[in-house]
Structure 1
Amino acid sequence: MSEPVEALTHPALAGAAHGFLGRRGGVSTGLHAGLNVSYSEDDPAHTAENRRRAGEAVLPGAQLLTCYQVHSPDVVTVSAPWGDADRPRADALVTNVPGLLLGVLTADCAPVLFHDAQAGVIGAAHAGWKGAIGGVTDRTVAAMEALGADRARIAAVVGPCIAQKSYEVDAAFEACFTDEGAENARFFRAGRAGHTWFDLEGYVAARLAGFGVGTVAMLGEDTYSQANRFYSFRRSTHAGEAGYGRQISLIGLR
């Protein structure tokens, strides 16, 4: 019997169908073993089946939509489904249409799911460090507000991503953030000479709160250190592996 799909949830998003998925419950093998949802390296039939399983685990019968992620701050407002070949180049999606399941792929970057229960508006954002500092979460909130949401009512949850203990960066990387604002120094912990440890999850959560999002939460799950549960680009790179998989985070309106 195959392992069931693991879908992590948070009570702040209880009004919407949602789940932060990892690698458990899929059909891929080898380096991508488990619920890999990326077509870039895997057997397309395995990826398609994994995506089907992911969608059924969160909102059965819904149309799964993802974008072609490019580490940008760009957001697409979704009013109707599209095919995989027509995916827009962006890193966040928002909608107020029931039956559409918004998904973002990650492998250390931070997935963020959003919901304004009163307005019936949802969002999903892929916040790697470039997108995070570029304002992808700010723009997601703004796009939700254009559909009638209110940032004070929005709940946002940061899902599994690389933790500070696993994310060593160099001085130039740190300068990208401290040049933006001296207060960003609090997201870096000193390490070996010329290096620090970056708290991506904390930065994303703080940026959400600073933008006026009413409820902000973090799952606190480290993708790098949990090889049996999550895919990790950095872990695969450090291991000298030829590829890596990607997990998906999903949200939809029933």
Structure 2
Amino acid sequence: MTIANEAVDVARAASLEGLEGIAHGFLGRRGGVSEGEVAGLNVGYGSGDDHAKIDANRARVVEAVLPGGRLVTLYQVHSADCVTLSDPVWSDAERPHADALVTNRPGVLLGILTADCAPVLFADHEAGVVGAAHAGWKGAFAGVTESTVQAMEALGARRERIAAAIGPCIARRSYEVDEAFFRRFLEQDEGNAVFFGAGRECHHQFDLESYVAARLAASGLRRIEALGLDTYSAPERYFSYRRATHRKEANYGRQISVIGLT
């Protein structure tokens, strides 16, 4: 698999009104220096990869999206917690335990790591406020996107102006869940049945992307774009925790989605 020598792969929500002029991108695994099972642009310190290679990959991310900017990430824990970035900017060793972050500071690149979960990037161009959320099923179910919108509003954003883009994540055709998972969502709202398709006996196929999009719309957002990119079925382009598990691989990489103000 030739990944390390390729150009950095950046997908953008270019057609979404509200993100024009905002530095952002959903990056995959192409264009990095990591090798082996995490070959490519692996940015996850928890992957067991060489930290020097991860640092080099993170530098490539910044150069591709916001040259001269400072990348800021979290210690993600599948929560609904959102933090606001102000002064001082924390170091990698001091990363808060949370799953979303917002800022109105220029020159800072907010980063969310994923390997099947849904990354969501937010922007209110008029207010000069951006946000990023890690929306796995647990965080989305608990309200991480709602927490992000509320934190942006505290900085002066207005939800009717906020644009949100959902990046590469595991697609319904690739995401089998059991009956208990299905019932948990129905207990929250019987209308959630629409996000599940038929699977093998006592199993269902879950549409994480559509569920996240519906949560955003229910929060009052009017401009939402889902990129429709499946991490599981594109091994040359994206890391996938579930794919690595099914292949019995010892490790898996993490890709990153970023947004910042110039």
Q: Distance in 2 between matches of 1:108 and 1:245?
A: 11
Map 1:75-114 → 2, pairs under 5 A:
75-80=82-87, 81-114=89-122
Separation in 2, partners of 1:61, 1:92: 23
Kindly indicate whether residue 66 of structure 2 is the aligned counterpart of residue 59 of structure 1.
yes
Work out which of the residue numbers 51, 64, 76 in structure 2 matches 1:69: 76
Instruction: Give the structure 2 partner of residue 169 of structure 1.
Output: 177
Distance 1:75 1:15 in 2: 24
* Aligned partner of 1:149 among 141, 157, 164: 157
Structure 1: 5+ residue runs without aligned partners? none
Q: Counterpart amino acid of 1:64?
A: L
TM-score (norm 2): 0.96
Residues 191-215 of structure 1: CA deviation (Å, up to 9, x unaligned): 1110000000000001101110120
- 1:14-54 per-residue CA deviation (whole Å, 9 max, x = no partner) reads 22100000000000000000000011210111100000001
Q: Secondary structure at the match of 2:101?
A: strand
The answer on 1:194 being equivalent to 2:202 is yes
SS in 1 for 2:133: strand
**Alignment partners' CA distance in 2, 1:228 and 1:146:** 40
The runs of at least 4 consecutive aligned structure 1 residues that moved more than 4 Å come to: none
Does 2:60 correspond to 1:50? no
- C-alpha distance in 1, partners of 2:62/2:5? 17
SS at match of 1:137: helix
Percentage of matched positions with identical amino acids: 63
Q: Are residue 218 (structure 1) and residue 221 (structure 2) matched? A: no
Structure 1: distance between partners of 2:242 and 2:5: 28
Match in the other structure for 2:22: 16
* CA–CA separation in structure 2 for the residues paired with 1:181 and 1:21: 33
Within 2, Cα distance between the matches of 1:205 and 1:237?
27
CA apart distance, 1:2? 2.7
1:38: which partner in 2?
Answer: 44
From 240, 245, 249, give the equivalent of 2:257.
Answer: 249
Report the residue type matching 1:224 in the other structure.
Y
**2 CA distance for matches of 1:39 and 1:146?**
31
1:2 paired with 2:1, answer no
- Alignment correspondent of 1:26: 32
Q: Distance in 2 between matches of 1:94 and 1:214?
A: 19
Give me the whole-angstrom Cα distance separating, in 1, the residues matched to 2:149 and 2:184: 23
Aligned residues: 254
TM-score (norm 1): 0.99
How many angstroms apart in 2 are the aligned matches of 1:245 and 1:97? 29
Deviations 1:179-232 (A, max 9, x none): 000000000001111000000000000110111012011000000000000000
